[in-house]
Every structure is written in C-alpha cells, then in structure tokens.
C-alpha cells in the first residue's frame, strides 16, 4: 500500500519548497508530500493518484496563481474528489475568493499568508483526522445499509412465504366448511352413502391441510437452523427396499411398476436415517405422482470412492429447462400435474434440497421434456 498523499500547490517555488519541508518534517512518516506549481499540474497529479488508487486526504492551494486561481482549482478538485479536504492559502485581501471556495469547493479552512508553522501543523493534523473519521463513518453507513437491505429482503421473503401458505390453507379449509354446512342443512334429505361421501371429502381436505402444515413446520425448522442432524454410517439399501415396496402397492391403481436395482450387499453413507427416508420418499412419491398410467420407475443404487448414489428415473412428462431452474424453490408447482388426483403443496423438493445439504450431500435433476425425469442424490460415503 502506498502512503496517502498531501498535495501542495503554489506558483512560487520557494514557498512551495518551504511548505513541503515543513509538512515532510511533521507528517512525512505517514504521508507522501507532493507538490504542483500550477492548477493544471495539480489536476493532472490528482487524476494519476486516483488511477493508482492512492488516497488524497488533503490539498493545500495558494489562491493567487497565473492561469487557474486557487478557488477555481479547488472547485474542480471538489467535483472529482469531494472527500478530499481543501485548504486555501490566502493574502489579506482574498476574502471574496475564500467565500467562493467555501460555497463551491466545500473549503475546509483557509490559512493566511505568511502562515504560522504551529497553526499550519494543527490545521493539517485536524484535517487528516477529520478525513479518516468521515471515511470510517461512510463505511459504517454503507455496511449498515447493506444489512438493512438484506433484512428487508428476508422479511419480504417471509411475507411472501406466509401469504402463499395462508392461501393454500384457505382452500381446503373452505372446502371443509362447505361440506360440513351441506350436511348441516341437507342431512334429512341425504342418503347415508352421500353423507359418507361428503365426510370422505372433509377427511381428504383436512389431510391436505395437515400435510401442508407439517411441511411448513419442517421448512421453518430448517430455516431457523434447528436441524442439528446426527450423521452415522447408514446403509441406504434397506430404506430403499422398504420405500419401493410401499410405493409399488400404492402405485398399483395407476398400473405403475417400480424396480430397484443394486449390486452390493451394503451401501453405507454418512447420513441421518429419518432425513434420508424423507428425501428418498419425496423423490419416489414424485415419480409416482407425475407418471401417467402404466409407466415404469427405475430406482438404482451405486457406489464409488466418494459417494453413494441413488437415481430415481421415471417415464413421466419430463421437465423443460425453464421448469428445471425453478424445481427446488418454495411452492413451485410446475407444468407437470399429478396424474391421479394427488395433492401437491410445491414444497417437497425445496425440503429435499435443504435436507440433503444439511447432510453434505447433493441432489440434481436430469430431464428432457417429454422423455421422463431422473433425480440423482449423492450421499457422502461412510469411511470405516
């Protein structure tokens, strides 16, 4: 880092030298003292300093100079370096110039010629102190502004999350209310099968609400950092066997079959059991949910030196590039819709991503529109 610069401007070489000597003696350890013998020369030096990223806390300029006067120079400097403090050296009769410089150049002080050495030293010391104080303050405000902006963004996101959640809870709730009112008013004219059917719908709607609330609680727990997962050496295979069995049953009405393939006896990953089950459950249930009648789902396990990898491949509608970008966001219900009237809260994959991250794993999607989708999860391998 180069030393910050104090720049002195005067057309009288002798005065310039003596100013330089005095400042060098007093401030030379921490500051580079530069000189210019005209306003034009000074402007050039300032530009060079800025190009080289060298700080210029202070410029001291004579007023009466041929070509460009001191107040005009400081005005121009003020336009390019507003933070640099400016001192004008003046004779007795320069009150007007001082007034102008105060107004147009944000003059810090003026010093009458001939100057008192102690007065000069004190003024310069004070000016430098002020410069760095203001700089610190500016940095403090900038960081404060950043924090406020981040916080505002966070609040906006929370607000949006809440409004979507409320909207999604209102639908099943008003359905429940409507069905209950139907029984209340029409009970006498209803057949018992009809009553049972309406009650079934009430149950479905309340299950949807329950599912959404569980998801919201889960998201909240993840976001507030309360997910301290204990990771152990976990064999993924039995979990997948259970899930594939379970979903084979549930997919029967849709004529969908599931197939699990693997080569090893064990697939030990560094993972948390419940979390892993939840991640894989989400991916397999999605495959079943978005596949049309009669399709196949392939679940494959593999292992290499770093990862235990699980792929869930379906023959469903696939996802466009645009949809793939949004896949792991909150409340994303994309182009593919459930094929068997299943419910969708749009939070499943958002949760999957967060959970997998918290186990230091990875999840990604490969898909070509119209040709099915493959989700790939990688768990860190558990080393014996």
Q: State the residues that interact with ligand ATP by CB under 6 A.
A: 215, 282, 286-287, 289-290, 314, 316-317, 319, 327, 332-334, 336, 344-350, 373
H-assigned helices in the chain: 13-27, 39-51, 70-80, 95-105, 117-186, 192-223, 236-251, 273-290, 321-326, 348-358
The candidate with the shortest Cα–Cα distance to 110, out of 232, 119, 118, is 119
Distance between CA atoms of 60 and 83, rounded to whole angstroms? 14
Q: Which residue is nearest to ligand ATP (CB)?
A: 348
Q: What is the DSSP string of 138-206?
A: HHHHHHHHHHHHHHHHHHHHHHHHHHHHHHHHHHHHHHHHHHHHHHHHHGGG--HHHHHHHHHHHHHHH
CB of 205 closer than 8 Å to CB of 175: yes
Q: Does 316 bind Mg ion (CB under 5 A)?
A: no
Q: Which does 292 bind (CB under 5 to 8 A by kind): ligand ATP, Mg ion, none?
A: none
> Which residue, 18 or 320, has its beta carbon nearer to Mg ion?
320
Least distance from Mg ion to the Cβ atom of residue 307, Å: 23
Give the span between the Cα atoms of 293 and 151, in whole angstroms.
47
Question: CB under 5 to 8 A by kind: which of ligand ATP, Mg ion, none does 85 bind?
Answer: none
> What is the radius of gyration, based on Cα positions, of the chain?
37
**Would you say 78 or 286 has its CB closer to Mg ion?**
286
Q: How far is the CB of 80 from ligand ATP (least distance, A)?
A: 53
Q: How far is the CB of 210 from ligand ATP (least distance, A)?
A: 12
Q: For Mg ion, which is the closer residue by CB, 128 or 240? A: 240
Q: Which of residues 317-356 bind Mg ion (CB under 5 A)?
A: 348
Which CB atom, from 117 or from 370, has the smaller least distance to ligand ATP? Answer: 370
**What is the spatial distance between Cα 376 and Cα 384, in angstroms, rounded to a whole number?**
24
Structure tokens that stand for 204 in this block: 């479905």
Name the burial class of residue 142, with classes exposed (0-12), middle (13-18) and buried (19+) by CB atoms within 10 angstroms of its CB: exposed
- Quickly count: other Cβ atoms within 10 Å of residue 380's Cβ: 16
Min dist CB 269 to ligand ATP, Å, is 22
Q: Scan residues 273-302 and list those touching Mg ion (CB under 5 A).
A: 286
Q: How far is the CB of 176 from ligand ATP (least distance, A)?
A: 19
CB of 289 vs ligand ATP, minimal distance in Å: 6
- Choose between 97 and 349: whose C-beta lies nearer to Mg ion: 349
Residue 327 binding: pick among ligand ATP, Mg ion, none (C-beta 5-8 Å cut-off by kind): ligand ATP
Q: How far is 284 from 5, CA to CA, in rounded Å? A: 67
Residue with tokens 């100057």: 115
Task: CB nearer to Mg ion: give 268 or 279.
Answer: 279
Least distance from ligand ATP to the Cβ atom of residue 138, Å: 44
Q: Contact, 351 vs 219, CB < 8 A?
A: yes
Give which of ligand ATP, Mg ion, none residue 39 binds (C-beta under 5 to 8 Å, depending on kind). none
Binding partner of residue 346 among Mg ion, ligand ATP, none, CB under 5 to 8 Å per kind?
A: ligand ATP
Nearer to ligand ATP, 94 or 314 (CB): 314
Which residues are near Mg ion by CB under 5 A?
286, 348
């Amino acid at each position: 880092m180069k030393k910050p610069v104090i720049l002195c401007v005067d057309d009288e070489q002798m005065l310039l030298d003596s100013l330089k000597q005095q400042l060098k003696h007093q401030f030379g350890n921490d500051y580079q003292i530069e000189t210019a013998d005209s306003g034009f020369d000074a402007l050039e030096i300032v530009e060079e300093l800025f190009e080289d990223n060298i700080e210029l806390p202070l410029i001291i300029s004579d007023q009466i100079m041929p070509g460009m006067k001191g107040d005009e120079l400081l005005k121009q400097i003020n336009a390019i370096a507003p933070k640099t403090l400016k001192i004008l050296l003046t004779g007795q009769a320069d009150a007007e110039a001082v007034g102008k410089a105060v107004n147009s150049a944000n003059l810090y002080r003026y010093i009458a010629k001939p100057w008192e050495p102690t007065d000069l030293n004190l003024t310069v010391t004070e000016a430098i102190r002020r410069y760095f104080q203001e700089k610190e303050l500016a940095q403090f405000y900038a960081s404060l502004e950043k924090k406020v902006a981040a916080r505002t963004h966070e609040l906006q996101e929370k607000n949006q999350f809440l409004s979507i959640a409320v909207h999604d809870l209102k639908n099943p709730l008003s359905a429940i209310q409507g069905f209950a009112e139907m029984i209340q008013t029409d009970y006498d004219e209803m057949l018992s099968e009809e009553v049972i059917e309406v009650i079934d719908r009430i149950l479905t709607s309340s299950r949807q609400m329950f599912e959404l609330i569980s998801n919201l609680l889960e998201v909240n727990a993840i976001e507030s950092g309360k997910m301290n997962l204990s990771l152990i050496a976990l064999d993924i295979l039995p979990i997948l066997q259970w899930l594939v069995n379970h979903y084979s049953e549930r997919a029967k009405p849709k004529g969908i079959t599931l197939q699990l393939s693997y080569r090893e006896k064990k697939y030990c990953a560094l993972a948390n059991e419940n979390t892993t089950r939840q991640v894989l459950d989400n991916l397999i249930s999605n495959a079943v949910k978005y596949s049309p009648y009669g399709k196949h789902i392939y679940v494959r396990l593999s292992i290499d030196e770093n990862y235990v990898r699980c792929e869930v491949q379906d023959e469903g509608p696939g996802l466009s590039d645009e949809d793939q970008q949004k896949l792991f966001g909150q409340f994303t219900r994309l182009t593919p819709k459930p094929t068997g009237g299943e419910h969708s809260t749009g939070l499943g994959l958002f949760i999957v991503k967060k959970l997998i991250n918290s186990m230091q794993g990875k999840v990604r999607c490969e898909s070509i529109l119209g040709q099915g989708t493959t989700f790939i999860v990688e768990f860190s391998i558990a080393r014996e």
